[in-house]
A and B are shown apart, each in its own frame.
Chain A
């Protein structure tokens, strides 16, 4: 996989509160691990979706191998898990989505559309 522009920014335990919980915009957080093959298959698709979303929605990633505390806090039992936040509240969650643009687009946008 070539090293290209990263549209999915990494968030850690130190920055999670300010970048996710305090954000006034919709945020999708992917809880992932680099050793997970399912996450590897999802990665290029997630990059495409994050690029298409632009400023409409933030897509971030948490490396569960490093930030175990965050994974515990949000009851992550498998990777990849996408958790959608709006104004600091969890509004949706998808575990192991199919690595297709349509499925992923729906997963990260639908919870916010239902709120509106």
Chain B
């Protein structure tokens, strides 16, 4: 059974396998610590356990958490993408003034929030080009640039897999799996 945790302040989840996300998360953490009193947002890596993540919010799927940025609110709601960025900026002392602009309405719409949403989408799409191994292949409009960066790295074709750091020293898999007690 999943026991839900109730956070006292918003939680910004970040992809700890992505260098770009790590840099942004570290900046948010530092900025939040500058706040007099206590920081108003918690920054934590998504991790690798879907069950632990569901204790924070039962509706949160780990695949979704990695696909785009999430801020988990203390009231149980979630903010994603540009809305999550705006919420994060709203919680930081040095960007609170900027975050106010995202609430500005013109003709029933929020133009600055819309611009932020586009900016987030572009940044998210750019991550594979900025050295994020686990972020997959970029969308079609960035493929020519991706092709160039792959060539610079000496790769002829884009990969369909993420290279992991786990590297074996000896190959003994077949010996292990070929044990007589399991055949």
Contact = CB atoms under 8 A, between A and B. Distances in A.
A79 B165 CA distance: 10
B131 interface: no
Nearest to B182: A88
A88 B135 contact: no
A88 B183 CA distance: 6
B48 A65 contact: yes
Given A75-B171, A90-B173, A38 B61 contact: no
Given A35-B17, A38-B162, A72 B62 contact: no
Contact of A34 (B48, B59, B168, B182): B48
A78 B177 contact: no
Given A34-B46, A34-B63, A21 B164 contact: no
Contacts of B59: 3
Nearest to A88: B182
Interface string B38-55: 000000001111100000
Nearest to B159: A96
A98 B168 CA distance: 25
Contacts of A75: 167-168, 171, 173
Contacts of B18: 35
B160 A97 contact: yes
Nearest to A65: B48
Given A34-B50, A75-B173, A88-B177, A98 B136 contact: no
A68 interface: yes
A76 B134 contact: no
Nearest to A37: B136
A65 B55 CA distance: 19
10 contacts: A34-B66, A37-B137, A41-B136, A65-B48, A71-B166, A75-B173, A78-B164, A87-B183, A89-B178, A96-B160
Interface of B: 15-18, 46-50, 59, 61-64, 66-67, 128, 134-137, 159-164, 166-168, 171-174, 176-179, 182-183
Given A21-B179, A37-B128, A88-B178, 14 more contacts: A2-B61, A33-B162, A34-B50, A35-B134, A37-B135, A37-B137, A37-B162, A38-B136, A38-B161, A41-B136, A63-B48, A72-B166, A76-B164, A77-B164
